[in-house]
Amino acid sequence: MSEPETTALPETPTDRFRSGFVSILGRPNVGKSTLLNALTRARLAIVSDKPQTTRTLIQGVLTLPHAQIVFLDTPGIHKPDTVFNQRMMEAVRAALKERDLLLYLVEANAPVSDEEREDIRMVLGTGTPAILVINKIDLVRPKSKLLPLIDEYRQLGDFAELIPISALQGDGLDRLQDAIIARLPEGPAYFPPDYLTDQPERFLAAELIREKILHLTRQEVPHAVAVMVDRWEETPNLLRISATIFVEKEGQKAIVIGAGGQLLKKVGTAARQEMEALFGRKIFLELFVKVRPRWREDPAFLAELDWRSAFGKGAT
C-alpha cells in the first residue's frame, strides 16, 4: 500500500482496556520530546533545536477511556564521548528493555542516514514491535515526496507500521495514537487517571530554566549548561525557587549573564512565567551562575545532578 493516509489499522476493541509501556527513540533533534508533549497534551519535556536537550528519561502517561499509555522520552541516540554522554546512552539502552512497543522517530525532510540504519537494526533487534514514525512532514511539499522515503524505510526492516506525522502541528497524531493502542496488550491501568509523570516539580523547574538558556545561547554553551534547584520554599501565596546555573568556563558564565545581566534576566522572566502557568502559583525565582570546570566528566557532580532529578531534593 503506497498511500499513507489509507493504511488499514487493526481494529481496537473499545470494551477491553489496553495498557503498556512505549519508548520514543531516535537521533537528536528529530522531535521526540515535542511528540511526547503532543501525545500527552502536556508540557513534560523541554524542547529546543540544540542536540542533547533531553538528558534523562522522561515519563509521560496518557490515560483514555479505553487505554493507558506510559510513554518514555529518551535522549537522542549518539556516540558517547564524555562520561555524561555515556550516562545518556545508558538511559537510551534502558528504554529499549521491557517495553510493549517502540517508536523510532526520523525526520521527513532528511534522507535516511547511516546512523539511522544502524539504530533501526538495534531497535528491531530487540524483538519488540516497533513503529517507524516519520516526523516533520509539515516541512515536505508536495506530500507525494514522502512516498519514496516511506518505501525506503519500509525496506530497512519489519516495522509494525510506518506513520508520517507532524508533532509540531498535530498532524497524524490520532492515527499514531490508535496504532499504538492497537498494539498494546489488554491490561489494567498502571496509574491513576490523573497521573501524568514521575518528574518532581523541582526537576521540571530546573529543566524550564535550562530550556530558556538553550533558546538564547548557541554553539558550545547549551552543552555546558546544567541547572540545579537549591531552594524550594512554599509559602501560602508564593513559591520561592533558587536555582544555580552551572557552566564549564568563565567565558560561558559571561555569556549566560549577558551584558548588564540582560540575558540572565530574560531567562529568569521567561522561566518564571512558564512555571507560574504550569504550577498555578505565583513564583519568586532567583538565579545564580557558577563555573564548574569539566562537570560533564565529574562523576560526583553527575551523581548529584542525577540524585536531584530523580528524587527532587536539593540542598537548602
Ligand X SMILES: Nc1nc2c(ncn2[C@@H]2O[C@H](COP(=O)(O)OP(=O)(O)O)[C@@H](O)[C@H]2O)c(=O)[nH]1
Select from 19, 54, 244, 309 the one that contacts Mg ion (CB under 5 A): 54
- 244's contact among Mg ion, ligand X, none, with CB below 5 to 8 A by partner kind, is none
Select from 33, 59, 128, 197 the one that contacts Mg ion (CB under 5 A): 33
Distance in angstroms (rounded) separating the CA atoms of residues 181 and 175: 10
Q: Which residue is nearest to ligand X (CB)?
A: 31
Binding mask 19-58 for ligand X (x = CB under 6 A): -------x-xxxxxxx------------xxx---xx----
**Cβ closer to ligand X: 34 or 252?**
34
In the complex, the smallest distance separating the C-beta of residue 197 from Mg ion, rounded to whole angstroms, is: 14
Burial environment of residue 103 by CB neighbours within 10 A (0 to 12, 13 to 18, 19 or more): buried
Q: Which residues lie closer than 8 Å to 39 by C-beta, 6 or more apart?
A: 60, 62, 69, 71, 173, 176, 177
In the complex, the smallest distance separating the C-beta of residue 55 from Mg ion, rounded to whole angstroms, is: 9
* Selected range binding Mg ion among 46-54, 155-163, 220-228, 240-248, rule: CB under 5 A: 46-54
Distance in angstroms (rounded) separating the CA atoms of residues 124 and 128: 7
Segment 154-173, which members bind ligand X (CB under 6 A)? Answer: 166-168
In the complex, the smallest distance separating the C-beta of residue 134 from ligand X, rounded to whole angstroms, is: 10
In the complex, the smallest distance separating the C-beta of residue 34 from ligand X, rounded to whole angstroms, is: 3
Lookup result for grid cell 528491531: 124
Using only the alpha carbons of the chain, give its radius of gyration: 20
Q: Which residues lie closer than 8 Å to 293 by C-beta, 6 or more apart?
A: 248, 249
**Cβ closer to Mg ion: 47 or 245?**
47
- 55's contact among Mg ion, ligand X, none, with CB below 5 to 8 A by partner kind, is none
H/E segment holding residue 59:
strand 58-63
In the complex, the smallest distance separating the C-beta of residue 268 from Mg ion, rounded to whole angstroms, is: 23
Distance in angstroms (rounded) separating the CA atoms of residues 241 and 147: 50
